[in-house]
Chain A
């Protein structure tokens, strides 16, 4: 099987002695076109992988910044098709795109149908924050069939046995939640992240990327010293939300990406 775009992106970053920069944006925020423009700006400014958030009515793992953005996106009428269009725009520009989604929208769409449509949009796979390996059902088989990545999360509280089971199922990379909590910017990177990445590496050779609470170039630099990837979400969304015009929002996303792309360099 050929490597996914995500695997290639992590390998390229490693070869350049830096961590991969993974940026998150919810589809359809502040509107579909601006969301796509922001994602493309992110890609051009140095993001290696883009997580496209599928807006969901009950985002349990998200703090106020992302929860408000997806609420507004849904109120604006965003549908799965808009998410897939966003993915298609990013992947046709040559950047790896994953969909970050709570499980119910995929479950409701039909796992096989979702995988088929995601693959045909050029998407690399799914990040699934509320799906456990135990409840994954057809997803492992179907994602094999469509050569899609499966990104599950490990947490500071995960016992070794769970890390082993989760990493066995992951493909593309492993998402290490830096802290016990929800999405949102924090003043400092949690000390638990280093230990979690080290514990995860005992079970897998997949890249390990750290997310939750990472928002500044300094924090990105700190994380790049021990992880293969740095995931930033709320900091981008906050800039888009705060911008007076869509153009300003896209520019703000570009600037932050450029700064973070410097931050993820090692040494």
Chain B
């Protein structure tokens, strides 16, 4: 295999997709109650202005560097690659080392600065695994904003550590008892809050989903992952990876690491969805694998839905991937063939979790363990000449109770 010469990281114009109304091909757009339209238009305008404002960029860059500890490192997982990924060379992008323990802080710092810029005093968020909630609570504490986080009751139970962290950081955690009591229902409840309080509240969506401009804006705030990683991989190995692998729930860490590589046609982009415990309806959260096109939470995208367009229940061992929709840019990447999406079962994910713990001394988030399991498969396909970049999107402290129960330790 020949290695292309090292070159500077791609900085493609980030405008080609979406269009001005937020469409990624047929996906995305803006399906929202009229009450929110003025706020969404204001947000799009403010974001556009902030994006071109050197002071905003400087303030965000400083926070990302001095507060969130960016750039995060790239670590080679030698034993993991040798023993579990077919001898393939595996590099980990260490978002687990960012402040608060996941990539979520990248987006939150951007949105919370925007909130201040818009003169709003309150931030709300939805959270599944609690990582986005913790990041939001953190940024609000830092910048002196009121914070409320909606979390499904089921998730408050399985991610209890993060509930305590949020409360310690001064946020109000609101347990949602509607529906399946997971991420989707938390998002419904956050929208209901926002419709009522939009005058003084910003809804800090944690994924690359929701109505325009969220999918684009969150993507832009997260793409730093891939911009850094591309340069790091090049300087470490002198070439681009054969594959970039990330887990996909709503898809923010995946878009973040994929985006800078989109122009690199030879780099496979592999998204790993939550396959849960089977392909039956309601037993997984693999939206791009089993879903069909629909409208959910303000966007047109792939949705897990029944024959009448009712959203299906989902299941995943990972609270952060337990969501029946997906960011519209992923739907676009799937349909254009630029990215591929695979379903990774609970069991495979927990194998990836254990493998990383025991070969590298790193306890990953169960979300990220789906990417590790995906990398194990891709690595075996590529063999010893292969080079894989895995986005290790978060650390697993929050998951020790779930993992202990799973492994019976």
Contact = CB atoms under 8 A, between A and B. Distances in A.
Interface of A: 56-61, 63, 67, 71, 74, 79-80, 103-109, 129-132, 134-135, 152-159, 162, 166, 177, 180-182
A154 B34 contact: yes
B31 A135 contact: yes
Contacts of B184: 58
Contact of A180 (B198, B305, B307): B198
Given A58-B184, A134-B21, A162-B37, 19 more contacts: A58-B311, A60-B188, A60-B297, A67-B178, A71-B178, A104-B294, A104-B305, A105-B308, A129-B33, A132-B31, A134-B30, A135-B29, A135-B31, A153-B33, A154-B34, A157-B38, A159-B38, A177-B34, A182-B196
B195 A107 contact: no
Closest 8 CB pairs of A and B: A108-B309, A155-B35, A157-B38, A105-B309, A57-B311, A181-B196, A155-B34, A104-B295
A57 B179 contact: yes
Contacts of B35: 153, 155-157, 177, 180-181
Interface in B134-154: none
Contacts of B59: none
A135 to B, nearest CB: 5
B7 interface: no
A236 to B, nearest CB: 20
Contacts of B303: 104
B309 A107 contact: yes
29 contacts: A57-B310, A58-B179, A60-B188, A60-B191, A60-B192, A71-B178, A104-B303, A104-B305, A104-B309, A105-B309, A106-B309, A107-B294, A107-B309, A108-B305, A109-B308, A129-B33, A130-B295, A134-B30, A135-B30, A135-B300, A152-B34, A155-B33, A155-B34, A156-B35, A157-B198, A158-B37, A159-B38, A180-B195, A181-B35
Contact of A130 (B31, B294, B305): B31
A107 B295 contact: yes
A56 B34 contact: no
Nearest to A154: B34
A86 to B, nearest CB: 15
Contacts of B199: 180
A162 to B, nearest CB: 6
B309 A109 contact: yes
